[in-house]
Amino acid sequence: MYELLKGIRIVDLTTTYLGPYATQFLGDMGADIVKVESLTGDVGRSPLPSRHPEMGAGFINSNRNKRSLAVDIKAPRGREVVLRLAAKADAFVHNMRPKAAQKLGFAYADLKTLNPGLVYCFAAGFGQDGPYADDPAYDDIIQAMSGLAALNRDDAGAPRFLPSIVADKVMGLHLAFALAAGLIHRLKTGEGCAIEAPMFESMAAFLLVEHLAGQSFEPPLGPAGYERLLAKNRRPYRTRDGHIAIMPYTTLQWTRFLECIGRGDLLDCGNDLLVSHGIRKFHLALARHVYDLRHQGPSI
């Protein structure tokens, strides 16, 4: 464990995976994470497998390096415990809908009066200036609404979820980064701040880095979608003893690859295979098509 955040105390009211994944990183960096759960426990405790009904594998794998306590935050005494913790904390983080936090007395305006230097971060499902501001969200919802499930469509074109809580984990990284940036802001200015890290908008932006593609320009240069990543034949190839991933990308890598497979003859000056990315892309698509016709399903 690193000690980069030693001495920083973070009150953590997050549940399931997104928030706990974020604060686990900060705990790994030495922060003192005080996890506050309801009396029935974080709902993320229950998914199997587990040796104990309240200590599932996913919970264990996203909650190391933390201290914890359980209180009834809907009761006056429970809320008072949380407010006392917030008054002495460096940061406060939750993944409640803002209206729910406000109803409990845990909105930024409430906590700022107790602790003006508090860094306040929350990861709601949707941005607070959008039409879905008050809607709840989980990983599957964000995979669908962000377009990730459509990008992972099957051969028939039906959208599929990735077999990972990837939206939760990507957003967990966003939330951890936002909180760390808030701590730097406080270090430089002495002032607290409130930072919103919405799941939907952040996941959409994450995907559009490459998939905005031709729509990045005005006027557009083409459709959205990174063509290479959407190619039907982009996959590991089956061999006699497993699968292999091949990714020559630059001209130098193509040169080494062709020499490695004994096809250095394709490097002759008269062959235009390596002239440009566009020509390489055409040849690669053609080769994959011919390969599939020959093998009726990849096997090399």
Amino acid at 222: G
Q: At what angle do helices 18-28 and 166-189 cross, to 10 degrees?
A: 50
Which are the catalytic amino acids?
Answer: 168
Residue 186 CA to residue 29 CA, distance in Å, equals 18
CB-based burial label for 38 (10 Å; 0-12, 13-18, 19+) = middle
Please report which helix (H) or strand (E) contains residue 274, including its range.
none
Q: Which of 65, 3, 78 is nearest to 37 (CA)?
A: 78
Compute the distance between CA of residue 125 and CA of residue 135 in angstroms, rounded to an integer: 7
Q: Give the DSSP H or E segment for 106.
A: none
Peptide bond into 248 cis (omega under 30): no
**Environment class of residue 123 by beta-carbon count within 10 Å: exposed (0-12), middle (13-18) or buried (19+)?**
buried
